[in-house]
Amino acid sequence: MASVQTTRGEMDEADLIKREGVVETDRESTNWVEYWLDDELVHRSVHVHLKQTPALFPELEKFSNG
């Protein structure tokens, strides 16, 4: 039986309600998972995958490109 670290210590996943979600944008892909014990949130983990970040010196492009 899989266990989950929660605010109440290690709990069996089967005793909890699992909710998952995905957020996709141009800049990130995010997955989150929550475990609830009745109406109480006892675990939430998040995985953000950065896809696109701003260039450090984009203003230099006009000089580099002539």
Q: Which residues bind other proteins (CB under 8 A)?
A: 5-7, 23, 25, 27-28, 30, 32-34, 41-53, 55-58, 60-61, 63-66
- Distance in angstroms (rounded) separating the CA atoms of residues 55 and 66: 18
Buried (b) or exposed (e) across 15-37, using 16+ Cβ within 10 A? Answer: ebeeeeeeeeeeeeeeeeebbee
* Cα-to-chain-centroid distance, residue 45: 6
**What's the closest the beta carbon of residue 7 comes to other proteins, in angstroms?**
5
Q: Which is nearer to other proteins, 1 or 54 (CB)?
A: 54
Q: Which is nearer to other proteins, 1 or 52 (CB)?
A: 52
Q: Which is nearer to other proteins, 14 or 48 (CB)?
A: 48
